[in-house]
Amino acid sequence: MNCIIIDDETTARVVINQLCSNIAMLNVVEEFPNAIKAIKYLNQNNAVDLIFLDIHMPEFTGFDFIQTLKNPPKIILTTSDTNFAIEAFEYDCIVDYLVKPITQARFEKAIQKIKNTPITKQQTESTTDKTETTSEKELYINIDRRLIKIDIASIYLIEAKGDYINVKTEHKNYTVHSTLKKIEEKLPETLFLKVHRSYIINIKKIIDIEDNSVLIKKDVVPVSRSNRPELMKRLNLL
């Protein structure tokens, strides 16, 4: 069984690796100090059967990481915090919840659960099917009693400002009396993502991502923590 370890503490990774080495069926193929590096690895490697995952990591928690996975393998959480046990078992992919320091006996019990309980990978209904089949490529906005046609693909950013939204395109910006929610319903989910309560971005137009913000054209757009996992899931990470 191929395993990876994700934990920001070096000592914790060494301990889990040692625990794995005492069980013949476990083969640790990689270790990662953060979830971002693990996501990049999983995008290129499908042969991972089990993840040992820390909950508390800088900027990107274990739960944030799980939400980026379309079809997660089996996961054993490893943490010093006992407060998330109930939340953890809301995820079908989580097999066990190990509290540090982890003993060999408790570790073996978790592995036994994997042997005895087949886990069905989470299947989420694809939200892209309906958007990929639509033939609508234009959006009409009402400005000064005129209907103006906009090429949807040219939109790179939409910002909410009170009772208005600012639609920024490759050629021109438009201020429209509308809400972010209303225009979000008109946009294809394959291209657009709400990354903040006040911003929708065209993910194809992203130039750079740093910490909790993205750069689109010359606009630096904040990304809320709750929307960050979905953004990372959408990116084609190398």
Under CATH, domain 2-116 is a member of which superfamily?
Answer: Response regulator (3.40.50.2300)
Domain ranges of the chain: 2-116, 129-234
Segment 179-200 mean pLDDT: 92
pLDDT, one tens digit per residue, over 54-89 is: 999 877 889 888 988 888 899 999 999 888 888 887
How many of the other CB atoms lie within 10 Å of CB of 231? 19
pLDDT, one tens digit per residue, over 88-117 is: 878 889 999 999 999 999 999 999 988 876
* Tokens representing residue 11 in the block: 């000592």
Q: Are the C-beta atoms of residues 37 and 88 closer than 8 Å to each other?
A: no
Annotate 132-199 with DSSP letters as a single string. Answer: HH----EEEEEETTEEEEEEGGGEEEEEEETTEEEEEESS-EEEESS-HHHHHTTS-TTTEEEEETTE
Looking at residue 71, what DSSP letter applies?
A: S
pLDDT at 219 over 90: yes
Topology (CATH) of 129-234: OB fold (Dihydrolipoamide Acetyltransferase, E2P) (2.40.50)
